[in-house]
Amino acid sequence: MCTVSFVKASEGVEITSNRDETTLRSNAMAPATYIYKKKELIFPKDPQGGGSWIGGNKQGRMACLLNGAFDYHHHRPPYRHSRGLVLLDALATEDKDDFINNYDLNNIEPFTLIIYQNDTLTELRWDERKKHIKKLDPDKTHLWASATLYGPEIVQKRKEWFRKWEKENEISAPYSVRDFHYHAGEGDPENDVVMKRGSYLQTVSVTSMRLDDVKIKLIHDDLVGNNSGDAELFTDISK
């Protein structure tokens, strides 16, 4: 997985994720609030690993995970735990910078993690050997695609689609970027943003997470099952 966008929309910040996964994997549950390591979090749960790929906390921290770092890598289990639990730990750790700098990633499969909080946007990539930490401009739009599914040419093409869509559409309107996540592409089912390869690998969901002054809201569209749903978590950031 996945294709992920970050935009500043009207009076809010949005992260939207297309989850590309095998349909043989257990279907994710609709978003809900959970207590994880004594922290109240909101996320759609992956019942197979117990974690998630997108979620937020009461401090207004949002995080989204993609499989792979920079290049395709070989899957070499057993790993210490799933990457979906890394995302939950990123939300449950009291200080995000402490997580980014000190979290032990030994024997964790490569990933890219996007973290937003307090108008700061950070990209953390783990390539099995070292962390690569990059601060990004939160006033600009950004797009990522999973290195395990898309080579550099396809990733670049997706970014070009996104820039073209951004020029032609009112990106500041709430949730307008979802149109890109459903419709962008060139008619190639293997590489369009809603994709399908073979009998089992496809985009299984489109999930938007929006932060405003008082809450985080998740809108989750399950494209292969019946677990679509919305959920909200009111934050402490306005206090």
- Which CATH number fits the domain that encloses residue 58? 3.60.60.10
In a domain, 76, yes or no: yes
pTM, 2 dp: 0.96
End-to-end Cα spacing for the chain: 36
In a domain, 230, yes or no: yes
Residue 144 pLDDT exceeds 60: yes
Contact 47, 227 (CB under 8 A): no
In a domain, 106, yes or no: yes
Q: Cβ contacts of residue 185 below 8 Å, gap of 6+?
A: 161, 191, 192, 193, 194
Residue 140 pLDDT exceeds 90: yes
Two tokens at 28? 């994710």
Q: What is the pLDDT of residues 102-124, one digit of tens each?
A: 999 999 999 999 999 999 999 99
Give the whole-number percent of the chain exceeding pLDDT 70: 98
What is the pLDDT, as a whole number, of residue 225? 94
Residue 211 pLDDT exceeds 80: yes
In a domain, 175, yes or no: yes
In a domain, 239, yes or no: no
Q: What is the pLDDT of residues 70-86, one digit of tens each?
A: 877 777 778 788 999 99
pLDDT band at 239 (very low <50, low <70, confident <90, very high): low
Q: How many domains are contained in the chain?
A: 1
Two tokens at 164? 């073209």
Quick one: average pLDDT of 141-151? 92
Q: What is the pLDDT of residues 5-63, one digit of tens each?
A: 999 998 899 999 999 999 998 999 999 999 999 999 999 999 988 999 999 999 999 99
Mean pLDDT of the chain: 94
Nearest CA to 63 out of 106, 101, 112 is that of 112
CA–CA separation, 145 and 155 (whole Å): 6
* Structural domain boundaries, residue 172: 3-234
pLDDT band at 238 (very low <50, low <70, confident <90, very high): low
What is the pLDDT, as a whole number, of residue 48? 87
Determine the residue type at 105.
L
What 8-state DSSP symbol labels residue 120? E
Nearest CA to 102 out of 112, 88, 111, 90 is that of 90
